[in-house]
């Protein structure tokens, strides 16, 4: 039950924070979601974030005895991976540096939040 709750709360953090950050950015820059249907885009993002939440919690469960005292290192490794992904997308086509910065800001908020969730609900 605690694992399901942790996955659900991590998913909510991973999904809601970027919606707020990108929404704020779009208000000031006019940034639009990709594609013709914003709801389809959000549905795709939700599926991706569910997978990320499952992986985040699952890897924590496997390594929490080692990572528990150093949960910030666990979060930092995820953060580094996500930031490099944002930079890689910004270098490629159809993704702006504004979107990458919004992604990095989102990750800087939601990954520590996700780390707090797993350490509280699934302590080492």
The mean pLDDT of 6-14, rounded to a whole number, is 98
Q: What is the dihedral of CA 4, 10, 14, 16, to 10 degrees?
A: 90
User: What is the model's pLDDT at position 34?
Assistant: 72
pLDDT of 38: 82
User: Two tokens at 56?
Assistant: 């985040």
* Residue 113: exposure state from Cβ atoms within 10 A (0-12, 13-18, ≥19): middle
Q: The tokens of 80 are what?
A: 């580094």
pLDDT, tens digit (0-9, with 9 covering 90-100), for 36-48: 788 888 999 999 9
pTM for this prediction: 0.92
Measured over the CA atoms of residue 111, residue 55, residue 33 and residue 9, the dihedral's sign is negative
> Quick one: pLDDT band at residue 68, thresholds 50, 70, 90?
confident
pLDDT at residue 26 greater than cutoff 90: no
DSSP state of 69: G
Mean pLDDT over the full length of the chain: 94
User: In which element (H, E) is residue 97 found?
Assistant: helix 97-121
| pLDDT per residue as tens digits for the range 74-121 | 999 999 999 999 999 999 988 889 899 999 999 999 999 999 999 999
CB count within 10 Å of CB 67 equals 20
């Amino acid at each position: 039950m605690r694992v399901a709750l942790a996955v659900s709360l991590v998913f909510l953090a991973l999904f809601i924070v970027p919606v707020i950050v990108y929404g704020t950015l779009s208000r000031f820059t006019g940034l639009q979601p990709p594609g013709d249907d914003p709801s389809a885009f959000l549905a795709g993002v939700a599926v991706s974030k569910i997978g990320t939440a499952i992986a985040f919690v699952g890897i924590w469960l496997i390594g929490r005895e080692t990572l528990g005292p150093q949960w910030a290192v666990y979060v930092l490794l995820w953060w580094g991976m996500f930031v490099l992904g944002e930079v890689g997308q910004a270098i490629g086509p159809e993704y702006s540096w504004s979107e990458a910065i919004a992604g990095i800001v989102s990750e800087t908020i939601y990954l520590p939040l996700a780390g707090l969730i797993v350490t509280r609900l699934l302590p080492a």
